[in-house]
Structure 1
Amino acid sequence: MSAFSRVTDALQAHGSRGRGTAWQCVAHEDRSPSLSVTNGNKGVVINCHAGCPTEDVVSTLGLTMADLFDEPLEKHVRPQVVAEYPYVDEHGEVLLTVKRLEPGYDGERKTFRQYRPDGTAGVKGIRRVLYRLPEVIREAQAGGTILVVEGEKDVDNLAAIGAVATCNIGGAGKWADEYTQFLRGAAEVVVISDRDEPGYKHSAAVATSIHRAGIPVRVLEPARGKDVSDHLAADLGFDALVPVDRTAPPKNDSTNSSEPPERRVPPSTGITGMENEGGGASWEPPIPVPTYQLPPFPTDALGAPLAAWVRAQSESLNVSEDLVAFSALGTVSTALGGRRRIHVKDGWEDENVCLYLLGLAGSSARKTPALDAASAALREQTALLREDRRAEVDENDQKIRIAEAEMATAERLAASGKGSPEDARAVLDTLRDLRDKPGLPKTLVGDVTLEALGKLMGENGGRMGLLESEAGFFKACAGLYGNGRADITLVLKAYSGTGHDIERIMRGSTWMPHTALSIALIVQPGVVEQMEKDNPEFKSSGFLNRFLYSLPAPMPPGSFDTPTVPAAVRDDYNQRIGALFQKVWTAENITTVHLTHDARKRFADFYNEIEQRKAENGDLHDLAEWAGKLCGQILRVAACLTLFDDHGATEINEEGMGRALSLAPYLITHARAAFALMSRDGDGGRKLLRDILDRLRDLADTEGTVTLRKVRESFKGRLATGGGNVDAEAVQEAMEQLEDLGWVAEILAPPRKPGQRGARPSPKYDIHPLILNPPSKETP
């Protein structure tokens, strides 16, 4: 049966009235025929003049898009990675990787995608260099000849015959003058142009840049084919290249034009269950949704005493060493109570020794036990000090009550004329002095409002520690406990240690000349998902940039009979925390810790490195604001580690600085993952990919396909990544990424005829068999 007969029979069976090419549309209430049904070159063209999508009409008829064609539609071939091209710096360290996919998207023969070293798509902020940079630099320094071509494949083919060649990332039109600096010293640079208009324009731009730098340059082109790879494939060598004597390709040169993109079916994978039903193209195993490859915490960097406690406590509680280490660092920072500062150099304001730490872990990660174990010694010391001072504080409270009664009497007598206003003012001065005396000391708070935090800090010399495993603090900062936005000024100031004034109703104001707030929060990742979107002031104020982040991997299932922390290790940790509290926290004055000469040099090298990496082409450019505070945070960590080892230390030596610096790679990688989680997309968009994968099986039709419209509609009014409705553009981008990863494959719609009216059908996708028929968990 022809496709036309198949469609008209279905229309008649559905009760549609019409004949020839005019029929009543079955996708809407249609009293007069508005559906055009005509024969095309290979099949039927359906057009509803009322605007109904063709796929809706076809679906209502109980047909598929393939039924519109006399011959079966060719299966869409999913682009596959056929080559990877690493771009490395001068030392051979990978900066980014370009992947070549064939066939390309949108009918192209090839597509190029760029990825970070950890496999994350997108390279914003990463430094751009020439391909095969180390070889280029060596050849230039030796005064040799360097070839510049348009693509990485051409470079590799030239390298195979012993030539030193390079290209820039992005291909034609993407050359920058900064690339030219790597070619200085070369005896000659030969630019080999592709034989098409973009190629000639690109080679001219490259040659102009090189010429301006005073480097000898000439431009050649292949004698055969479109590019130098075609030239080499024709068994022609370098000597057969010809000078470029035109600015556009010859109009009738068949070797000059690209062949149309081939449509081919990939070979079978040979894996059971990976074939489409109905004998379609075989599927390859899909690529899992990428996750950040986060390094484990470098516990040895803490130094032998603290590392021993972290490992023992981690094993005993079955908690990741990351979370135990963050809990311990938060406790040490709190025990210092802002009574130590770090002098770096003249002109650099002395650094406050306070850490803001944020660990992100699931509900079963034993967050609270880790914090409790780390802070137990500090709580015990605080309780002992409170007991020692209780009698003194109780006596002062009594004096306050007496003074308040005297104040009331003096005011009453002064108002009646029987007493002197001076007597009332004298009692008021006494009352103020009594109220300024500290109450019972407090070092740690948990779920606290910002107003209460300020009050407690004012009563404890401007310092406080906040170690918590619940989200109350973030909720307070977001203003969820009051009306409107919260004022987080105190939290921002207490990071750097600047003074703060608190106005109190009925009690005047409290001036804190110095502030010191230490924070160690270990909360569930969902608390911070899309935080930049929900609380944009957190980013604009620099609040989030003040934190060090940790996203530890989940721990394997634990055992009831975990080992206890050895008594010697436990007692050593408790003694060191106790010494910090007794000798440092209780001190009246702030003292300064200095850097030794060698420590200062190590830190200066690190500072200069971070400045370079923050630059526009550096790998930390996208984290520049956070990285700008990283150097100061490293100083704070170095001070905490040094003073934990020796509470009386007055210097940070090279060894202590080196240990802190060895934490930097961990902190940078985890910060990048945390900011992706807090971004507007949540997890850099990865969670949306997982959300779609979770629902594709339920959304699939009987043929194992799904339309983009149906996926979008499944998110209407729903939250996919922790806050905010998912927009249509985000879903479309996610489907494209899932196609890149091999989970879906778009089914190409038949081409529209010139002048064809009506809305385009929603893109349709085949779904991977592993989603439709997941393997049994019992399968080995």
Structure 2
Amino acid sequence: MRLLGGLSPAPTVRVVTIDALPGGEPMPVGGDLVDWIEAHGDAATPEVLVANLEELVAAAEPVDLTAGRPQPPAAYLPFPVEELPEPVRGFVIAGAKAIGCDPAFLALPMLTAVGAAIGTTRRVELKRGWSAPPILWTAVVGESGTSKTPAFRLVMAPVRELQRRYLEEHAAQEKAYLEDVAFHEKAHAEWKRDKKTTDAPPIKPEPPQATRLVVGDTTVEALAPILLANPRGVLLARDELAGWFGSFDRYSGGKGGSDSAHWLSMHIAETIVVDRKTGVSRTIVVPEAAVWVTGGIQPAVLHRALGAEHRDSGMAARLLLAHPPRIAKRWTEADIDPQAERDLAELVEHLYSLEYDIDDQGVDAPGVLPLTPDAKAIYKRFYNQHAREQAELTGDLAAAWSKLEEYAARLALVVHLIRWAAGDLPEDGSSDNTVDAASMAAGIALVAWFKREARRVYRQLSESDDDRRLRQLAEWIERKGGKVTAREVQQGRRDCPTAADAEAVLEELVAAGWGAWSVSAPTAKGGRPSRIFVLSTASTSTQPHNSRG
């Protein structure tokens, strides 16, 4: 059966059990096909026997030849750019085409950066007592040379430009502050010399606080004063996230410790209390500390970084991951329209201009956007289906599913506010202060894609060396079009120097469920038939799909 299941196309196999004679009498103990034929008597002509056997075959159920066979990992599906509103969608598509990379390389940092622009000024309310901030943690997994860095820099350009302007303003404020300090010191000295004065001492000027949008330092001790001065939150954007993972263990003996706990709080904008060893304020309390995280990481580094302690703590489950397959670079004259870059920069700046609501005590508070009735109905259906899926999962995937439940709402909020900033909401204003069905449907569709990616990436994280070797060979075959002969493998792979080596490794792929053998017919010129290995998931990484099911 295993050999039959490895053929392409797979044959239909039915197993016929003869447990009764033609007259309806039970088959005698130890009976076989001879007894069945003899029971036909004089009617046992070849034509009658064949017809009766065909009836028995037609009544038998086909055998599932794939039952018990290892199944290959799910094929990669391209990022569902159709769920992104304009101008983000057009920028991601154009950027991916210009760089020659998968759209996920731009989409993940883009969504995170836009969420950081919204900051803690807005939350989405799912029901009374349950609201969520637009905080996203994303990581693009890719080997060196897969265009992670160019895509990341392209997305971050408008944020970094805005940050540069803020820092220039701060430099001017710092210069003015130093002049004020000099005047204050002079005035204070004169006040001290005047023994008869009853005036209060001159008020010391307050140092200016820099507006920070982006940070690179990953230690909580360094972040705490920045967050205290920037209540909207900040974006931790690093081309390589290895340093971020390493910071969890830097001051805690390799066990993660309190830094991990603080980061978990920053994922939900909770209060953190940080005790510092130096500085004027040894204890810093940051209410609603919020940090958005985005960047790239190499597969091997991710495997080492997401050790058991970070999986157990739930740190890994909070990451939205994408691992697009490697594709060969090809020169392209494609470029991004400067107007598209300006549109994105205006969008980012517009979102950074969002202000807090004012609560009953006159204090800044996040604006809370409830769901419209249609959006609520969509989310309820998603929630119930998602819960049924989670009940069937264990371990890392169960933990990831527990966070993806709320990520649908967070992504819906980000999508909705992009639409608001772009003037894409209904003109009657009915959706200005709510999250509507269109935004919620997009958030849920994005989570469906992230769920599929989570399964792929977590499977890769648990691979053995042999599993990884076979997966990388399958990805190489897919780049070749999904079909190869043993000779092509021998010629194209250094790890298969002989025809026997190539044949053997392709047999391993068949046994592991990655594909099957197909026999090609001789050409018009004659020759011998050749065996071709056909990848089960060939070409699916480039096929369009319906992200909403």
Question: Do they superpose with TM above 0.5?
Answer: yes
Task: Tell me which residue corresponds to 1:668.
Answer: 451
TM alignment of 1:25-424, pairs within 5 A:
79-82=2-5, 229-231=16-18, 240=25, 254=30, 290-348=72-130, 350-396=131-177
| Alpha-carbon distance in 1 for matches of 2:329, 2:152 | 20
Tell me the residue number matched to 2:226.
456
Letter in 1 for 2:310: F
1:481 Cα shift?
Answer: 7.6
> 2:296 is paired with a residue of what secondary structure?
strand
TM alignment of 1:706-721, pairs within 5 A: none
Post-superposition shift, 1:399?
6.4
Kept in 2, the 8 Å contact 1:546–1:629? The answer is yes
- State whether structure 2 residue 534 is matched by structure 1 residue 611: no
Match of 2:441 in 1: 658
Match of 2:350 among 570, 579, 582: 579
What corresponds to 1:646 in structure 2?
A: 420
Deviations 1:52-98 (A, max 9, x none): xxxxxxxxxxxxxxxxxxxxxxxxxx9524499xxxxxxxxxxxxxx
C-alpha contact 1:393 1:440 (8 A) present in aligned 2:
no
Shift of 1:770: 11
In the alignment, structure 1 residue 623 sits paired with structure 2 residue 410: no
What SS does the corresponding residue of 2:329 show, helix, strand or coil? coil
Contact persistence 1:449–1:476 (CA under 8 A)? no
Question: Aligned-pair distance for 1:632?
Answer: 0.8
What is the rounded CA distance, in whole Å, between the counterparts of 1:682 and 1:447 in structure 2?
A: 34
For residue 340 of structure 1, report the CA deviation from its aligned partner: 1.3
The CA deviation string for residues 716-773 of structure 1, in whole angstroms up to 9 with x for no partner, is xxxxxxxxxxxxxxxxxx9997683499xxxxxxxxxxxxxxxxxxxxxxxxx999xx
Match of 1:565 in 2: 336
Q: Which residue of 1 aligns with 2:301?
A: 527
Match of 2:235 in 1: 465
Q: From 577, 588, 592, give the equivalent of 2:368.
A: 592
Which residue pairs with 1:601 in the alignment? 377
- Tell me the amino acid that sits aligned with residue 338 of structure 1: T
Specify the alignment match of 1:760 in structure 2. none
Cross-structure match for 1:507 = 280
- Is the 1:614–1:621 Cα contact (8 Å) retained in structure 2? no
Question: Do the aligned partners of residues 289 and 402 (structure 1) sit closer, same or farther apart at CA in structure 2, a change above 3 Å counting?
Answer: farther
| Structure 1 position 466, deviation (Å) | 1.4
Shift of 1:621: 8.0
User: 2:546 maps to which residue?
Assistant: none
Equivalent position SS for 1:528: helix
1:547 matches 2:319: yes
**Structure 1 contact 337–585 (Cα < 8 Å) conserved:** no
Rounded Cα–Cα distance in structure 2 between residues aligned with 1:564 and 1:507: 50
Decide whether aligned partners of structure 1 residues 662 and 317 sit closer, same or farther in structure 2, where only a CA change above 3 A counts: same
Higher RCO (CA-CA < 8 Å; seq separation 6+): 2
Post-superposition offset of 1:663: 1.7
Question: For residues 735 and 658 of structure 1, do their structure 2 counterparts lie closer, same or farther at Cα, with a shift above 3 Å needed?
Answer: closer
Determine the structure 2 residue equivalent to 1:179: none
Q: Which amino acid is 2:236 matched to?
A: L
- In 1, the alpha carbon distance for the partners of 2:267 and 2:305 equals 20
- Return the offset for 1:474: 3.7
2:309 counterpart residue number: 537
Q: 1:83 to 1:392 in 2, by over 3 A?
A: closer
Residues 575, 83 of structure 1: alpha-carbon distance in 2 compared, 3 angstrom cutoff? same
Residues 613 and 620 of structure 1 are in contact (CA less than 8 Å); yes or no, is this contact kept in structure 2? no
Tell me if the contact between 1:620 and 1:627 (Cα under 8 Å) persists in the aligned partners: no
Residue of structure 2 equivalent to 1:635? 409
Aligned to 1:359, the other structure's residue is in SS state strand
Instruction: Give the C-alpha shift of residue 311 in structure 1.
Output: 0.7
User: 1:463 Cα shift?
Assistant: 1.6
- In structure 2, stretches of 5+ residues that fail to align are 33-68, 359-363, 424-431, 475-492, 515-530, 534-549
Partner of 1:320: helix, strand, or coil? Answer: coil
**CA distance 1:569–1:688, shift in 2 (3 Å):** closer
Matched, 1:476 2:252: no
Aligned partners of 2:187, 2:319: CA distance in 1, in Å?
49
1:645-701 residue CA offsets vs partner (Å, 9 max, x unmatched): 21494211001111111223311110111112223x458x62155699999868x9x
Q: How far 1:531 sits from its partner (Å)?
A: 4.4
1:330·1:467 contact (CA, 8 Å) conserved in 2? no
| Match status 1:488 vs 2:255 | no
**Given the superposition, is the C-alpha separation of residues 319 and 398 from structure 1 closer, same or farther in structure 2, using an over 3 Å criterion?**
farther
TM-score computed with the length of structure 2 as normaliser: 0.67
For residue 183 of structure 1, what is the aligned residue in structure 2? none
Report the Cα offset of residue 637 of structure 1: 0.8
Deviation track 1:532-563 (CA, whole Å, cap 9, x = no partner) reads 5xx2111111001111111113334221x422
For the 8 Å contact 1:320–1:554, the answer to whether it is kept is no
The 3 A distance-change label for structure 1 pair 582 and 384 is farther
Residue in 1 that maps onto 2:64: none
Deviation at 1:458, TM superposition (A): 3.0
Partner SS state of residue 304, structure 1: coil
- Cα gap change, 1:584 to 1:468, in 2 (>3 Å): farther
Letter in 1 for 2:340: V
CA distance in structure 1 between the partners assigned to 2:355 and 2:237 by the alignment: 19
Q: 2:518 aligns to what?
A: none
2:209 aligned to which of 439, 451, 473:
439
Aligned counterparts of 2:434 and 2:442: Cα–Cα separation in 1: 15
Counterpart amino acid of residue 343 in structure 1: E
- Cα distance between partner residues in 1 of 2:97 and 2:247: 34
How far the C-alpha of 1:493 sits from its partner, in A, is 0.6
Q: Which residue of 2 aligns with 1:517?
A: 291
Deviations 1:93-119 (CA, angstroms, capped at 9, x unpaired): xxxxxx99xxxxxxxxxxxxxxxxxxx
Q: Return the letter of the residue paired with 2:413.
A: A
Q: Partner letter of residue 573 of structure 1?
A: L
| Distance of 2:110 and 2:239 partners within structure 1 | 14
Backbone CA RMSD of aligned residues: 4.5
**Residues 585-594 or 503-512, more deviating:** 585-594
Query: Aligned to 1:343, what secondary structure does the other structure show?
Result: strand
2:218–2:244 contact (8 Å) kept in structure 1: no
Write the deviation string for residues 335-366 of structure 1: whole angstroms up to 9, x where unpaired: 11222111110132x21210011111221122
Residue 662 of structure 1: SS of its match in structure 2? helix
The 3 A distance-change label for structure 1 pair 593 and 255 is: same
Aligned pair count reads 432
- Contact (CA 8 Å) 1:337, 1:584: kept in 2 or not? no
Structure 1 residue runs without a partner (length 5+): 1-77, 85-98, 101-151, 158-228, 243-249, 257-286, 408-412, 414-418, 420-425, 705-733, 744-768, 772-780
In structure 1, how many angstroms separate the alpha carbons of the residues matched to 2:371 and 2:156?
Answer: 28
> Percent identity among equivalent residues?
22
Which whole-Å CA distance do the structure 2 matches of 1:585 and 1:321 have between them?
Answer: 33
